[in-house]
Structure 1
Amino acid sequence: MQRLSTPLRRIALAAICAGAAGCASFSPDGGYAEVRQLAQQRSGGAIPSTAPGAGSVEHQVAALLAKPLSADDAVTVALLNNRGLQAGYAELGIAEADLVQAGRIANPVFSFGRLKSHEGIEIERKLMLPVIGLLTMPVTTRLERRRYEQAQLRAASEVLRTADATRRAWYGAVAAQQSAEYMEQVKNAAEASAELARRMAVAGNWSKLQHAREQAFYADSVAQLARARQTRTVEREKLTRLMGLSSPTAFTLPQRLPDLPAAPREVMDAEAQAMNNRLDMLMAQKELAGLASSLSLTRVTRFVNLLDLSYLRNTGETGERATGYEIELQIPLFDWGSTRVAKAEAMYMQAVHRAAGFAVDARSQVRESYGAYRTAYDLARHYRDEVVPLKKRIADEQLLRYNGMLISVFELLADAREQVVSVNAAIEAQRDYWIADAALQAALTGAGDSAAAATPAPRAGSAAPAQH
């Protein structure tokens, strides 16, 4: 049997070395450790060390749901149990499979032919190795590595987006529950006032106009309570979906929102911080690097993108054996690869403009979110320190006058009704502050639509009652 020629031996040796060096393997956790590290560096809370969908998730979720759910606990449950987030991790597994596949040599192709004629039998054997894939393996592996890193960034961004949405949903659910409970108290007080007015009207001590006013306020309070209850249901269901739970009764919430901090946080160099930390900017940079490498590869292989090497070992009709090799390549006769190069260049420039647009949007979102954060804090503090205490002082003064029999019970109730709008507005201002705080964090990390998140939610249950 004839030995391989020197060029063939060199190519075979290169193939073996490349195969040994480029044979990648799967990570034990599917790349979750890198995703968790990226998200942990940009998150305001802890990221679970357990990947979503793991076997021990049910016990962790059950332990968190057994007590009143805090905002951090709700985020943890969502990161462990959200089905959409688990689907995103499946995309990460697909990208890792592509990376491992890029580091492996394509299987050689063996062909066997047998021809029979009157002179005898002719046998043809061919072992073909795709050389172009072997030569471009280092470049394609780097490309798939960047795509895998982009997939990790997308997964980390989805983690932060889910955490941000869950945190804002928790604030909305707690505020809606707090407003509904307060409106329940208002409705009960209005019902008692309306009943007392009815009895006094029957006794002839009140006019029909006074009786109608009390009845109107009671009717308004019933309508506001119905809206508050519906808002509570909507906000609680939103939180339930984000946490991946099957029932809104599977968890309990605290009675009140967290108190305002003593002072608003100051973000130094917010725009520069966003440029360095936002995951969408990092993904755009990875995309640019990947497309630049792809463009270089396209330019190199624009003329020859098919090169196969075959080893031949044939047996003739007379039994004589012949060995040799065969090289197959594509001749750039009609297609010189200009269209592929033009397409790669266009895709690269598209990514350049997209990255520049991301930078403009990121800076604007950070400025807008920080302005909304400071405004929300100032309003919440104004209601806490000025409006609500002032209303309380007025109520205390009215109570003293009632105890001294200087005013009637209905004047006292009328004054109490005026506090309804202020108390509801204070609850909503406190909710808007915490939502704006989450939106600012999202703007600094690129998680979700920060501009939309900075917009306060529609107010429910704050319609002004009839004036008396």
Structure 2
Amino acid sequence: MRLGAFCVLLLPFAAPGVVAAQGLSLPQAIESAFAENPDLAAARREIGIAEGDRQQAGLIPNPVVSWEAEDTRRSTSTTTVMLSQALELGGKRGARIDVASRGQDAAQIELERRGNELRAEVVQAFYAAVRAETGLDLAQQSQSLAERGLEIAEGRVRAGKSSPVEATRAQVQLSETNLLVRRAQTLKANSYRDLARATGSASATFDSLEYADLSPGKAPLAAKILTAIDRSAELRLAQAQIEQRDASLGSERAQRIPDLTVSIGSQYTREDRERVNVVGFSMPLPLFNRNQGNVLAASRRADQARDLRNAVELRLRTTTQSALAQWVTATRDVESFNQVILPSAKSAVDAATRGFEMGKFGFLEVLDAQRTLIDARSQYLESLAIATDARVTVERIYGDLSSFSTHP
């Protein structure tokens, strides 16, 4: 008991390294983004806005109360009180409701599309942070190799086995790797901030990332994913806009039929001391304005929406095929780097360093091998970025890709 209490008292003085790091996985980042991202929260407001438009569209016109007096002399004046109600003819109210309902459907699909965009943004930011974290590790490994090369070069110079120029070259190489490390540290900090912003946080609440693989995964089968293009949010939104424009055309056509206004009231004449009932009907005569201009514009907008829908489908198909091809190629490049290029480049550096230490090679061979390894690592990270960008492009269109089988 006393030992346990003593250990508790010592906890505040424990070394920082024993505190467990707070990691962030991709599913956690996506969940946080959907719960906290302000852009998506703003997009959700569109649902309420569309609901308000639908509610307003179903309301009928308010009645009008009027009072008028003829002859302002008190003894001979005539006063009339009227209650008027406009009756919408031609199905105007139903047409308005149809337009607003189509707007509600479009708002729901738009929210889904914005969700797909946010998911893709989080995926891109997460893997960018992963690459930055890996880039810092690789830069530090290159720094360690340069430090070892400088140590060997200085030892050979002190032993009189190499020219001081070799040590100078090694020092220059170490300075370059130090620069790479500083840049990698800055890139990691910036990528963490970008990921935090995508998840809806002003600052990073994590200090490490949890992932099983640097690669964003394998590309889905093109033949299967293209069959789902009609279910993509963007294409469904284009189709919903066609329906909305068609409904607007119907509403404009309904406006060609004038409304009937029915009035009832009471008239009182002081001179005769007589009260009479008044009934009236009024309707505009559609002689000149039959809403023909608005009908024509709405018809052209409906045709435009169909053209835009076809353009969206063509763009989505082309973009999907290009992104999948890019994804497959970049994935193969990443595999080549992991299996052949990076191990071979690292072995070349080790062999050149040992040879220089034994006096078989000059430091130029070591320098060339180190720079080759650095270039290979840079190209490796670039291939990872290309694969991630391709995945993000596809996820912007189709959303979560877990339901699609991967490329063999």
TM-score, normalisation: structure 1: 0.71
- Rounded to whole Å, the distance in 2 between the matches of 1:383 and 1:356 is 41
1:8 is matched with none
Match 1:444 to one of 391, 398, 402: 398
Give the alignment of 1:51-450 within 5 angstroms.
67-113=22-68, 116-132=72-88, 135-194=91-150, 197-198=153-154, 200-201=156-157, 204-248=160-204, 250-254=205-209, 258=213, 260=215, 264-274=219-229, 276-302=230-256, 304-317=257-270, 318-392=272-346, 394=348, 414=367, 415=369, 418-444=372-398
Contact 2:143 2:174 in 1 (8 A): yes
DSSP 3-state at the match of 1:245: coil
- Rounded to whole Å, the distance in 2 between the matches of 1:80 and 1:255 is 20
The amino acid that maps onto 1:268 is A
Q: Deviations over 1:421-450 (max 9, x none)?
A: 323433443343344223223233599xxx
The amino acid that maps onto 2:236 is L
Distance 1:383 1:214, change over 3 A: same
1:202 Cα deviation from its structure 2 partner: 5.7
Q: Deviations over 1:320-341 (max 9, x none)?
A: 3322432232222332332122
DSSP 3-state at the match of 1:69: strand
1:291 Cα deviation from its structure 2 partner: 1.6
- Rounded to whole Å, the distance in 2 between the matches of 1:255 and 1:301 is 60
- Rounded to whole Å, the distance in 2 between the matches of 1:189 and 1:445 is 43
Contact 1:171 1:434 in 2 (8 A): yes
Distance 1:125 1:149, change over 3 A: same
Q: Deviations over 1:181-229 (max 9, x none)?
A: 3212322442453355346546644313312321221122122223322
Contact 1:177 1:255 in 2 (8 A): no
1:81 Cα deviation from its structure 2 partner: 1.1
Distance 1:134 1:233, change over 3 A: farther
DSSP 3-state at the match of 1:130: strand
Gaps of 5+ in 1: 1-65, 448-468
Q: Deviations over 1:378-421 (max 9, x none)?
A: 11111122223334555676788799x58589699654554333
DSSP 3-state at the match of 2:227: helix
Gaps of 5+ in 2: 1-20, 402-408
- Rounded to whole Å, the distance in 2 between the matches of 1:401 and 1:201 is 15
DSSP 3-state at the match of 1:343: helix
- Rounded to whole Å, the distance in 1 between the matches of 2:90 and 2:288 is 26
DSSP 3-state at the match of 1:268: helix
The amino acid that maps onto 2:391 is D
- Rounded to whole Å, the distance in 1 between the matches of 2:306 and 2:313 is 11
1:355 Cα deviation from its structure 2 partner: 1.3
Distance 1:437 1:336, change over 3 A: closer
| RMSD (CA atoms) | 3.2
- Rounded to whole Å, the distance in 1 between the matches of 2:87 and 2:106 is 29
- Rounded to whole Å, the distance in 1 between the matches of 2:179 and 2:30 is 33
DSSP 3-state at the match of 1:209: helix
DSSP 3-state at the match of 1:251: coil
Q: Deviations over 1:271-299 (max 9, x none)?
A: 3321x112121112111122222223323
Contact 2:268 2:275 in 1 (8 A): yes
Contact 1:157 1:446 in 2 (8 A): no
Contact 1:125 1:312 in 2 (8 A): yes
Distance 1:134 1:326, change over 3 A: farther
Contact 1:271 1:363 in 2 (8 A): yes
The amino acid that maps onto 2:93 is M
- Rounded to whole Å, the distance in 2 between the matches of 1:226 and 1:261 is 26
- Rounded to whole Å, the distance in 2 between the matches of 1:438 and 1:209 is 48
Aligned residues between the structures: 378
Contact 2:23 2:210 in 1 (8 A): no
Distance 1:102 1:337, change over 3 A: closer
The amino acid that maps onto 1:295 is L
Distance 1:107 1:252, change over 3 A: farther
- Rounded to whole Å, the distance in 1 between the matches of 2:49 and 2:218 is 46
Q: Indicate the larger mover: 233-242 or 411-420.
A: 411-420
Contact 1:365 1:443 in 2 (8 A): no
The amino acid that maps onto 1:315 is Y
